[in-house]
Amino acid sequence: MDFPEELKYTEDHEWVLSEGDLVSIGISDFAQDQLGDVVFVELPEVGDKVEISKAFGVVESVKAVSDIYAPLAGEVVEVNSDLPDSPESINTSPYEDGWMIRIKPDDMAELDGLMDASAYQAFIEQE
């Protein structure tokens, strides 16, 4: 299982990549493995506001549903429009093709509360 160093992670298994004043969000390799083959993704629309720790989307496999929680508050500026047609990207490429949304965070400092790769790895081993 792969946990890129440049990302931050949440306890709900989302990852965050900071890119200037924007961040991208997706779910971790661990999360996609737990879910199994992803068959459906529901994402917000550009312009929607997301709130920290509130669900902004849903990802479904054949037998499971999981809410996706916003790691930080902000406004959605871009949505991965390829995902609805190829939800399998979340399995095959969780950190690249499987990215979900890009937001403009209200407060970049909220990033500091998240785990780095090694802390996240320790966290999931504990679970």
Partner 1 sequence: MSAIGSKGLILNEKLIFERSTAGRCGYDLPLLDVPSVEPDRSLLRDEIEGFPELSEVDVVRHYTRLSTWNYGVDSGFYPLGSCTMKYNPKINEVVARLPGFAHLHPATPDHLSQGALQLMYDLQQALCEISGFPALTLQPSAGAQGEFAGMLMIHAWHQAQGNKRHKVLIPDTAHGTNPATAALCGYDVVPIASDGVLSIEAVAAAMDDSVAALMITNPNTLGLFEPNIREICELVHSRGGLVYCDGANLNALLGICRPGDLGIDVMHFNLHKTFATPHGGGGPGAGPVGVSAALEPFLPVPVIMKEEDGYRLVADRPLSIGQLRTYASQFGILVRAYAYLLSMGPQDLKRATELAVLNANYIRARLEGSYHLPYKQRSLHEVIFSDADLPNDCHTLDVAKRLLDYGFHPPTIYFPLVVQGALMIEPTETESKQELDEFCDALIAIAEEAKSSPHLLHEAPVNARTRRLDETLAARNPRLRWEKS
Partner 2 sequence: MRYLPHCDQGIRSMLDTIGVEKINDLFSGIPENCRLPRDLELPAPLAEADLQRHFQALAAESSVDGSWSRFLGGGYYDHHIPAVIDHLISRSEFYTAYTPYQPEISQGTLQAVFEFQTLICQLTGMEISNASLYDGASACAEAVLMALRCSRKRSKVMLSRGLQPRYREVVMTYVRYLDVELIEVPLAADGRTDEDAVKQLLDEDVAALVVGYPNYLGVVEEIESLSRLAHASGARMVVAAAEPLAMALYRSPGEQGADIVVGEGQSFGLPLSYGGPGVGFIAVRQKDMRSLPGRLVGETVDKDGERGFVLTLSTREQHIRREKATSNICSNQGICAVMVSIYLSLLGKNGLPQLARDNYSRTTYLREQIAALPGYSLPFTTSVFNEFVISCPRPATEVLKRLEEDKILAGIDLINDYPEIKNGLLICVTEQNDRAQLDRFVDALKGAAA
Residues near partner 1, by CB under 8 A: 37, 39-40, 60-63, 87-88
In the bound state with partner 1, the residue whose beta carbon lies nearer, of 24 and 32, is 32
Between CA 31 and CA 27 the distance in angstroms is 6
Say which entry of partner 1, partner 2, none residue 89 contacts (CB below 5 to 8 A, set by partner kind). Answer: none
- 88 near partner 2, rule: CB under 8 A: no
Compute how many residues bind partner 2; rule: CB under 8 A. Answer: 7
Say which entry of partner 1, partner 2, none residue 37 contacts (CB below 5 to 8 A, set by partner kind). Answer: partner 1
In the complex, least distance from residue 60 CB atom to partner 2, rounded to whole angstroms: 5
Report the candidate in 92, 38, 89 with the shortest Cα–Cα distance to residue 65.
38
Label residues 30-64 b or e (16+ Cβ within 10 Å = b). Answer: bbbeebeebeebebbeeeeebebeeebbebebeee
Binding pattern to partner 2, positions 4-43, x when CB under 8 A?
------------------------------------x---
